[in-house]
Structure 1
Amino acid sequence: MKIYDISMEITHDMMVYKNREEKRPHLKTSRDFTTGSVYESIITMDLHTGTHMDAPLHMMQGGDTIDRQDLSKTIVKCKVLDVTKAQKSVSKKHLENKDIQKGDFILLKTRNSFEDVFNVEFIYLDKEGAQYLKEKEVIGVGIDALGIERAQSNHDTHHTLMKADILIIEGLVLKDVEEGEYTLIALPLKIKGGEASPVRAVLIQGNL
C-alpha cells in the first residue's frame, strides 16, 4: 500500500486564488510555554484556500451546505486522468478517450500541478467537459487548480456539476501521481452552514 498526500500545505505564503491577500491563512499562537504549560493556536482562513471542497451553496442560492455533503462520496475508488496536454481548458475532446464509467470519481491532472505560483491562465474544466462528465454520471470531479472554472460569467462548470449532485474538489496536488485507479479519502470539516471546507485529501494505491 502506498499513500499519496495530494493536499496543499497551509501556510501564509502558500499559493492563493488570484494572489488575493485576504485569502492568505493566518496562524496565531494564543498560548505557548513561556506563559503556561500548553501550546495553542488560532487559524483564520478563507474556506476556499488550499485543497478544499465546494458545497452547492457556493454557487447556488439556497443550495446545500458542506455539513450536508454525502460522505459516501468522500471515501471512494477514483480515477486520476492525465490531461496534461490540455493547453487552455479540459474539454470533452480530452476526456472521451478515457475510461470513464458511471459512478466514477474523476481527478484531473493538468499542467497546473507543475506550477509553483498562481497562474491567471490556469487550466480549468470548461462547460463542454463538465457536461460530458455529467452525461457519464460521475459522482465527483477534482482538479489541480484553485478553481474548477475560469472566466465564466455564469459559472457554467460549477452549475452543471452541482445541479447533477457531482462533488467538486479544488486545489489538488497531483504532480507525483500517475494516471490510474486509487482510493480517495477527502473528508470535509463538518462546518454548519458552510459553503466549502478545507480537506486533507490522500490517494491510496493498493489494498487498504
Structure 2
Amino acid sequence: MDAAPLLALLLAAVSLSAAAAGDGAHPGYSDEGTCTVDAAGAGVGSGPELRRLEERRPGRIIDITHAYVPDLLAFAPGAVTGPLVHLKESMANGSEYNLSELRLECHMGTHVDAPGHMNQGHFAAGLDVDTLDLDVLNGPALLVDVPRDTNITAEAMEFLNIPRGVRRVLFRTLNTDRKLMWRKGGDMSYVGFTEDGAQWLVDNTDIKLVGIDSLSVAAFEHLISAHVVFFKTPDIIPVEGLKLDNIETGIYMLHCLPLRLVGAEGAPTRCILIK
C-alpha cells in the first residue's frame, strides 16, 4: 500500500476539486430481472423493497461498475449491443443444467485500456491487459469533479491542481450529470480529455490511473490524439465507463480487477471503492 505521505497529499487535494455534481439520482437499472439482496444480505429476489447487489453495505463498499445489461451503452451512435448473455443450455427446455455464453466487445461497459489499444509498438510487444500493473489498479484514489463547462483541457487540469504524488484519479464530469452511460446509443458530445489536457497530465502529475465516467477517456474531437499521448509510454492505465453517481468527492481505496484476456488490448473490469 502507498505510504502515509501520499494520503496526506490526497487530503490536501480534496479541497481543490471543482463544483460538486448535480443532485439528481440516476434512473438506475430496471427492477425487473435484477438480482438483489434483502437488508440482511440473506435472501435473493427482486423488487423495490430489496437492495441491489451494487448498493450493498453502504458506507463501506461502493460498486462503480456498470451492470452488463442487454441494452448496454455502445460507443457509436445508433449502435446496438444486443443480448450479451445467451442461455445455450436451459433446464426449462429439458437440459440437465443451465449454461450461459457471454459475447461482447472488450471495450464495452466499465473496462480498462491496455497500451496496445492505440500504439502498435506496444501491441506487437505483447503489452496486453494481462500485463497491466495490479499495483496501479489497486490503491488510494482521489475522486474529483471536473468543471462542468469544459472538456478536460490543460486549463481544466491546471485548475484542479492535483498535487505530485497522487497516482490514481477518478474524473467525474458532466457525463454523470447527463446520465450518458445510462442511454442507448452513443452520444459524441460526451466530456473527455483533449490532447493538451492529456499532455498536461503526463507532464505535470504523477497520475498513472485515469478513471472517467464515459466509454472513452478522450473527447470525441481528440479521440485518437489524446489516446496517443497517454500511450506514448505504457505507464498510464485508462479506466473507462465508471459509475460515479451520488458519490462524495474525496479519497477512497480503489480496487479494479480486469479479466485476464491474454492478447487483448482491453477488458471488462470490476471496480469498487472502499471508504
Q: Which runs of 4+ in 1 moved over 4 A?
A: 22-25
Q: When the two structures are superposed, what TM-score results if normalisation uses the length of structure 1?
A: 0.90
Tell me, yes or no, if structure 1 residue 124 matches structure 2 residue 186: no
1:171-182 correspondence runs (5 A): 171-182=241-252
Deviation of residue 103 (structure 1)?
4.5
Q: Secondary structure at the match of 2:87?
A: strand
Task: For 1:121, give the aligned amino acid.
Answer: S
Aligned residue pairs, count: 203
Establish whether residue 40 from structure 1 lines up as the match of residue 117 from structure 2: no
- Kindly provide the CA deviation profile for residues 89-110 of structure 1, in whole angstroms up to 9, marking residues without a partner as x: 1112222243332342111000
Q: What percent identity do the matched residue pairs reach?
A: 28
Shift of 1:40: 1.4
Instruction: Look up the SS of the partner of 2:254 in the other structure.
Output: strand
CA distance in 2, matches of 1:49, 1:20: 15
Q: Which residue of 2 aligns with 1:95?
A: 157
* Aligned counterpart, 1:145: 214
Distance in structure 1 (CA, Å) of the matches to 2:73 and 2:240? 13
Unaligned 5+ runs, structure 2:
1-58
- CA displacement at 1:33 relative to structure 2: 1.7
Q: Can you give the 5+ residue segments of structure 1 that lack an aligned partner in the other structure?
A: none
| More strand by percentage | 1
1:163 aligned residue: 232
Q: Find out whether 1:71 has 2:134 as its counterpart.
A: yes
Greater Rg by CA: 2
Which protein, 1 or 2, shows the higher relative CO under an 8 Å CA cutoff with sep ≥ 6?
1
The residue type equivalent to 1:57 in the other structure is G
State TM-score, norm by structure 2: 0.69
* Residue equivalent to 2:266: 196
Higher helix share: 2
Q: CA RMSD in A?
A: 1.8
Could you report, residue by residue, the CA deviation over 1:135-155 in whole angstroms, capped at 9, with x for unpaired residues? 2121110110111111226x2
Matched with 1:62 is 121
